[in-house]
Chains A and B, each alone.
Chain A
């Protein structure tokens, strides 16, 4: 049972435009969400996170939006740069109820076209 889903395996975006990566989850106990970026032959790098008490968190070019009622989060990258080409994973966890394991989505490969 895939509790965290990234339905787009790949996405291509023109350099300078906005990249929007989407993630859906099914477990209503999840209350902390993260995005990771992964280059080939490297481990995932933490990008940005959001707690369920917020609906938006911003860090430079990266903004994460959380819609709890829809069980949906998205990562916006503006403007997109060639170095953003990577695989992006969303992840979720439930903190207060002791199930603190991170559950990952299957990833979206983002390609930025120069």
Chain B
């Protein structure tokens, strides 16, 4: 199976700053997503990263706060902008090789905002 690499794996950031998380897949994939897991909660979809066009955001998530890039079929970035302690979460990159079936995840980025 393909390898999904995320970096950084963890970071501690000051409030008001921004962090960009990278996701690299070792094979081309059409469907790429970003999720958030807040402490003690389930995984929530932030957005679908669309190659060559703007990401599709879920309700409650906006581009100004979570800008996403997808320059090609193997790479995407998620930026968490103007961070506050409420943004402390695990952020996960996910891919699907067959639409509507299993999703596969990177190892996640644990973000702590102080």
Q: Which residues of B contact A (CB under 8 A)?
A: 4, 6, 9, 40-45, 58, 92, 99-108, 110
Contact = CB atoms under 8 A, between A and B. Distances in A.
Contacts of A36: 105
A107 B103 contact: no
13 contacts: A2-B42, A4-B42, A34-B102, A36-B105, A43-B92, A43-B108, A44-B105, A45-B105, A49-B101, A93-B100, A95-B100, A104-B43, A104-B44
Contacts, number: 50
Nearest to A102: B103
Contacts of A2: 42
- Please classify how large the interface on chain A is, using the bins under 10, 10 to 19, 20 to 34, 35 or more: 20 to 34
Given A91-B43, A101-B45, A107-B42, 14 more contacts: A2-B42, A32-B101, A41-B9, A41-B108, A42-B108, A43-B4, A43-B106, A44-B92, A46-B102, A89-B42, A91-B103, A100-B100, A102-B103, A106-B40
